Amino acid sequence: MKEKIEDLRSIAIKELKEINNLTDLDNFRVKYLGKKGELTKILRGMGSLSQEERPLVGKIVNELRGELEDNIKNIKSNLENKKKNEKLKNEKIDITLPGEKINLGHRHPLMQTIEELENVFLNMGFSVVEGPEVETVENNFDALNSPENHPSRDMTDTFYITDDILLRTHTSPVQIRTMKENKPPLKIISAGRTFRFDDVDDTHSPMFHQLEGLVIDKNITMANLKHTIDMFIKELFGEGMKTRFRPHYFPFTEPSAEVDVSCLNCMGKGCKSCNDTGWDMELLGCGMVHPEVLRNCGINPDEYSGFAFGLGVDRIAMVKYNIDNIRLLFENDMRFLNQF
Ligand code: DAH
């Protein structure tokens, strides 16, 4: 009997050594330790043993049971660890993989234009100020000396919020705010959105952008205005650019002028886009600040004088980037915007 158990043991241990997965291990456990297993069989057959032999065989069987159970336990935990490590290895995050690309945006071409304009004027000693897009009728029209019956005041031209409040039709009211809140000398520019009751076409939009400039000091003359505009145009478009001042009317300046610049397409030689004139028309409006406007803001016109100018930023961006349709600036089509 003892030899039989010893043989069983060596077979079992040999089998154990070859087990390399949990299913086989469980089959092994059932085969030897299960209800109908080899060891149980031996225990059941003990009835045929002698009185002396029984406890001895029982002891050996129990020892073998303990040995096999310990082995199974160890192999089980080894296999489980192996399985866990393999799983971890497969799930390991490869931190050397390149990350997901983040879609970075960039400045809108209009904002790029405004920044460029601001930089030119900052270099000329101007300060940048801001004004609200929702304005009073007083600042937008009255204080700017705009006549009571001026067509631009009409409901069909201007977005009114109440009788006294509107969406500013130009950036000129920033002049009024600046002069009312500060004492001369003043040298400011201000860029931002402006609104008019316009139908949309290739060059018009009910929302557009302007940049306003204002200089107030003693002894400021038209010569200062012309020089400033000249410098600005050359700085922005290049040395070869010429300016042409045409007399015009604005209620808030006297005298007033509109400024044309050399056609950017042909640099003044004459081409199809400038109708062979060599000039790009109406890039900006300007003039000497009207004495009445100074008075409206508490500045004595006998002591101070100044000039002002206003230019269309969208127009400049379109000329600069060769854009032929203003709608493109406001549609937020990434295919268009990513070109700049
Ligand atoms: N505000 C005028 C407009 O929107 C532009 C303008 C003209 C501004 C002459 C000025 C100026 O400051 O002096 O058409």
Whether the pLDDT of residue 281 is over 80: the answer is: no
Q: How far is the CA of 13 from the centre of ligand 1 (A)?
A: 102
Which contiguous run of DSSP H or E holds residue 231?
helix 222-237
144-154 residue pLDDT tens: 999 888 888 98
HSE-CB at 114 with a 13 A cutoff on CA atoms is 19
Residues 50 and 167 in one domain: no
Q: Is residue 65 part of a domain?
A: yes
159-204 residue pLDDT tens: 999 999 999 999 999 999 999 999 999 999 999 999 999 999 998 9
Q: Is residue 103 part of a domain?
A: no
Per-residue b/e over 109-143, b at no fewer than 16 CB within 10 Å? bbeebbeebbebbeeeebeebebeeebbbebbbeb
Asked if residues 167 and 105 have their Cβ atoms less than 8 Å apart, the reply is no
Residue whose entry in the numeric block shows the structure tokens 């003359």: 221
Residue at 313: amino acid letter:
V
Residues 14 and 73 in one domain: yes
Give the percent of the chain with pLDDT over 70.
Answer: 100
The domain that holds 157 is classified in CATH as 3.30.930.10
Q: Is the CB–ligand 1 distance for residue 286 below 6 Å?
A: yes
- Residue 150 C-alpha from the chain's centroid: 41
Q: Report the SS3 class of residue 332.
A: coil
**Between 281 and 223, where is the model more confident?**
223
Q: Is the CB–ligand 1 distance for residue 189 below 6 Å?
A: no
Query: Measured from the CA of 287, which atom of ligand 1 is nearest?
Result: 13
Q: Report the SS3 class of residue 199.
A: coil
Q: Is the CB–ligand 1 distance for residue 8 below 6 Å?
A: no
Domain count, the chain: 2
Q: Is residue 100 part of a domain?
A: no
pLDDT of residue 113: 95
120-134, 157-171, 259-273: least confidently modelled range: 259-273
Q: Cβ of 78: how many Cβ atoms within 10 Å?
A: 12
Q: Is the CB–ligand 1 distance for residue 253 below 6 Å?
A: yes
Q: Is the CB–ligand 1 distance for residue 172 below 6 Å?
A: yes
Residues 52 and 199 in one domain: no
Ligand 1 atom 4: the closest Cα is on which residue?
A: 170
Structural domain of 66: 2-90
35-83 residue pLDDT tens: 888 888 888 888 888 888 888 888 888 888 999 999 999 999 999 999 8
Residue at 59: amino acid letter:
K
Q: Is the CB–ligand 1 distance for residue 173 below 6 Å?
A: no
C-alpha 40/C-alpha 61 separation (Å) is: 9
Ligand 1 pocket: which of 170, 198, 314 to mutate (most atoms within 8 A of CB): 170
Query: Measured from the CA of 252, which atom of ligand 1 is nearest?
Result: 13
Asked if residues 203 and 329 have their Cβ atoms less than 8 Å apart, the reply is no
